[in-house]
Homo-oligomer: A and B are copies of this chain.
Amino acid sequence: MRQADDLIGIDRALLHSLMEQVSRFGDTGDGGVDRPALSDNHKAARDWFCGELRARGYTVLIDSIGNIFGRLDLAGPDAPVVMVGSHLDSQPKGGRFDGAYGVMVALAAVETWRREAAERGIVPLCNFVIVDWMNEEGARFQPSLLGSSVYTGSLGRDLALTRTDRDGKTVESELLRTGYMGSDTPPQPCCFLEVHIEGDTALETANKTIAPFVRHWGATKIRIEVTGQQNHTGPTPMEDRHDAVLGAAYIITKVKELADTATGTLYTSVARVDISPNSPNIVPGRAVLFAELRAPEPDMLDWAETELKKAIPELAARAAVEAGIVAVERRPAGRFDDRLVSLAEQAADRLGYPRMRLDTIAGHDAVAVNGLLPAIVVAVPSVNGVIHRCDEYTSPQDLAAGGDVLLEMMRQIDKAGGSLDRSGGAE
Contacts and interface: CB of A to CB of B under 8 A. Distances in A.
A273 interface: yes
A360 B279 CA distance: 20
Given A279-B271, A282-B271, A199 B249 contact: no
Contact of A235 (B241, B271, B387): B387
- Size bracket of the A interface: 35 or more
Contact of A252 (B200, B245, B292): B245
Contacts of A267: 233-234, 236-238
A250 B252 CA distance: 9
Contacts of A53: none
Stoichiometry (number of copies): 2
Contact of A273 (B200, B232, B233, B278): B278
A237 B292 CA distance: 14
A308 interface: no
Chain A contact residues, majority secondary structure:
mixed
Given A249-B252, A252-B249, A267-B238, A290 B294 contact: no
Contact of A199 (B232, B243, B253, B256): B232
Most-contacted residue by chain B among A234, A268, A272, A362 (CB, 10 A): A234
A246 interface: yes
Contacts of A271: 233, 243, 245, 278-284
Given A238-B259, A245-B273, A362 B278 contact: no
A219 B268 CA distance: 36
Nearest to A233: B269
A200 B280 contact: no
A248 interface: yes
A60 interface: no
Interface string A179-199: 000000000000000000011
A409 to B, nearest CB: 23
A290 B192 CA distance: 51
Contacts of A161: none
A75 interface: no
Contact of A253 (B198, B234, B249, B283): B249
Contact of A232 (B221, B274, B282, B388): B388
A361 interface: yes
Contacts of A198: 235
A270 interface: yes
Nearest 9 pairs between A and B by C-beta? A234-B362, A249-B252, A280-B290, A200-B235, A234-B361, A249-B249, A233-B269, A272-B280, A235-B361
Given A199-B234, A232-B387, A233-B271, 8 more contacts: A234-B361, A235-B385, A235-B387, A236-B385, A237-B267, A271-B281, A272-B284, A280-B292
24 contacts: A198-B235, A199-B234, A199-B235, A200-B235, A200-B236, A217-B234, A232-B388, A233-B271, A234-B267, A234-B361, A234-B363, A235-B360, A235-B361, A235-B385, A245-B273, A246-B252, A249-B253, A249-B270, A271-B279, A271-B284, A272-B279, A272-B284, A273-B273, A280-B292
